[in-house]
A = this chain, B = another copy of it.
């Protein structure tokens, strides 16, 4: 939090943790390419070209093309999880915490929709071990949201007949933002976040 890195939606220094510089440039190029065309339709030559390097340079910093995807997926998931948890662990009633969690999680998926798209939709391109690691991170998203909803039910603020199903639906709604969000569209990440927070509060039967 001491750095300027922690703004949800539009980070000032994204991928700052990736060094050296050439490795970061390659990773950013890979994110763009994967998000645009998909993992399998992206060539290593394309990634290297976007980073202004020769095809062989990629293999100095990464063992395989899959390792690039793995790195992107882990870092992306960890960031999204951190955003979600920060909101979930904040002060306030379950209603306020759920609203803030959805607002910031959606804001991230909209603002960082290229990363989010890779992270959420290219999971199957990973090998079994890497996929298992990412799936574990995903389950933490699920737990975080479910706990807020359970808190709200216990406090009598929410009316939710099916907690597990509603948790699934809430997360599904947020994640799918990465698929349809368009930078040139009519809505900003903030606006989508506000809209979705309102819709989710309605889904759990919370008073506004």
Contacts and interface: CB of A to CB of B under 8 A. Distances in A.
A192 B192 CA distance: 25
A155 interface: no
Interface string A183-198: 0000100001001101
Interface of A: 37-38, 40-41, 121, 124-125, 161-162, 165-166, 168-169, 172-173, 175-177, 179-180, 187, 192, 195-196, 198-199, 202-203, 205
A41 B125 contact: yes
A192 B168 CA distance: 11
Given A176-B173, A180-B172, A124 B37 contact: yes
A75 to B, nearest CB: 22
**How many identical subunits does the complex contain?**
2
Nearest to A121: B121
A171 to B, nearest CB: 9
Contact of A203 (B40, B177, B203): B203
B38 A166 contact: no
Identify the interface centre among A121, A125, A168, A202: most chain B CB within 10 Å of its CB.
A202
B38 A124 contact: yes
A162 B203 contact: no
Q: Which 4 A-B pairs have CB atoms at the shortest separation, nearest pair first?
A: A40-B40, A176-B176, A40-B41, A172-B176
Nearest to A161: B198
27 contacts: A38-B38, A38-B124, A38-B125, A40-B40, A40-B41, A121-B121, A121-B179, A161-B198, A162-B195, A165-B187, A165-B192, A165-B195, A166-B195, A166-B199, A169-B195, A169-B196, A169-B199, A172-B176, A172-B179, A172-B180, A173-B173, A173-B176, A176-B179, A199-B203, A202-B202, A202-B205, A203-B203
